Amino acid sequence: MIDKNQVLREVESLIKVRSEYVVKYYNSWSEGKHLYIQMEYCSQNLKNILEVKAHVFDRQPGDPMNCYEYLISCEIFREILQCVQYLHELNPQIIHRDLKPDNILIVKDVGNGRFVKLCDFGLATVHDKDINYNTCGKHTTGVGTIKYQAPEIGHGTPYGHKADIYSLALIGGEIFDLILFNYDPDK
């Protein structure tokens, strides 16, 4: 079930972060019990790209990448890092808290040379670096993606922007076909 407050937070975040690093927000309106958000159309997300990447480059999953696949993977990861860097350098900074391949969009037609944008700011939090370093809180229960969640968020201990960095490391591992550790959702 979608939380209305979470959707409103996402709209507020999108209005604040108009940039080439974030999916464009155009408009929002409500009709009856429904809230609609009109955003830039992006035809793919990183999850879809990762599912077909090995096949496109004619290799079996687990086999080494050729130099072309490696260079394209480097460019994708570089753009993702730039997107998150943008959020973390804002004042006050924004911690996304739900970075995962589904929330990294690929734009088909670009004028500025960038193909990667972030979306889904429903769990994002504004974090004033000058007031406090760590935010105390957890992902909203049942909403965030545990696989990409930093341990400190799951344990309810204070956290800061490094929680997003943890998620980036896991995403990078998937882009480059690295097994960083065995994920066990029961632990």
* Residue numbers annotated as active site: 98
Residues 6+ apart with CB under 8 A from 74: none
Q: Kindly state the tokens that stand for 165.
A: 């960095």
Strands (E), the chain: 25-31, 34-39, 44-45, 93-95, 104-106, 116-118, 125-127
Please say whether the beta carbons of 178 and 184 come within 8 A: no
